[in-house]
């Protein structure tokens, strides 16, 4: 019986390995970043930026965003997704367009059956940099520090990796709170 228990404990430890995709939504540039989490250790897997066409009908641009993000999800095979909540201080039209892109970004992993968490930009920054009002270059620098070997080619991919890191830090506590509810 003790042998069975040891086997089960080892299995639970292996189950703690997690692949997470973080997504920084946008219709012009949608950053994504994939990390692996094993215990408290974070590892960089891959990142990039989806750039749908800037011309054409909104519906087609949103469809391109969906197709490209779905292809990333199919290739990367994450087990959970995390999306940054958007903060927009521009006009209502750009806020509405960004909201529609964010809807696609939330829907695409959900269609695949992935749990999708959402995080405020200030919480992402605080989780990665230590302050909720960090600049983009500070986020990029801390992402490189926390994920040695990461190759975020632009701020959108770095932000997406920061969202994944934030989720890695908060997912266990969020699951405990949900279990208590």
For the chain, the structural domain boundaries read 19-175
The pLDDT, as a whole number, for residue 49 is 97
Q: Is 24 annotated as a binding residue?
A: yes
Question: Tokens in use for 155?
Answer: 């701020």
The whole-chain average pLDDT of the chain stands at 87
pLDDT, one tens digit per residue, over 19-37 is 999 999 999 999 999 999 9
SS (H, E, C) the chain: CHHHHHHHHHHHHHHCCEEEEEEECCCCCEEEEEEEEECCEEEEEEEEEECCCCCCCHHHHHHHHHHHHHHHHHHHCCCEEEEECCCCCCCHHHHHHHHHHHHHHHHHHHHCCCCEEEECHHHHHHHHCCCCCCCHHHHHHHHHHHCCCCCCCCHHHHHHHHHHHHHHHHHHHHHHHHHHC
Reported confidence tier of residue 76, pLDDT bands at 50, 70, 90:
very high
Q: Is 70 annotated as a binding residue?
A: no
Q: Which CATH superfamily is domain 19-175 in?
A: Ribonuclease H-like superfamily/Ribonuclease H (3.30.420.10)
Q: What percentage of the chain carries pLDDT values higher than 90?
A: 69
More reliable by pLDDT, 151 or 2: 151
Highest mean pLDDT among 45-59, 89-103, 122-136: 45-59
More reliable by pLDDT, 13 or 150: 150
Q: What percentage of the chain carries pLDDT values higher than 70?
A: 88
Q: Which residues are catalytic?
A: 24, 84, 156
Q: Is 156 annotated as a binding residue?
A: yes
pLDDT, one tens digit per residue, over 144-168 is 999 999 988 899 999 999 999 999 9
């Amino acid at each position: 019986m003790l042998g069975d228990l040891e086997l089960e404990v080892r299995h639970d430890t292996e189950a703690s390995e997690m692949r997470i995709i973080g997504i920084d939504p946008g219709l012009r540039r949608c950053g994504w970043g994939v990390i692996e989490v094993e215990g408290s250790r974070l590892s960089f897997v891959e990142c990039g930026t989806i750039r749908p066409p800037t011309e054409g009908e909104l519906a087609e641009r949103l469809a391109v965003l969906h197709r490209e993000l779905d292809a990333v999800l199919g290739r990367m095979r994450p087990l959970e997704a995390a999306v940054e909540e958007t903060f927009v201080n521009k006009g209502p039209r750009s806020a509405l367009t960004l909201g529609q892109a964010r809807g696609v970004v939330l829907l695409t992993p959900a269609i695949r059956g992935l749990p999708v968490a959402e995080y405020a930009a200030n919480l992402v920054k605080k989780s990665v940099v230590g302050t909720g009002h960090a600049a983009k270059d500070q986020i990029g620098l801390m992402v490189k520090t926390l994920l040695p070997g990461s190759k975020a080619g632009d701020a959108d991919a770095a932000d997406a990796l920061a969202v994944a890191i934030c989720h890695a830090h908060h997912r266990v506590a969020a699951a405990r709170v949900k279990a208590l509810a």
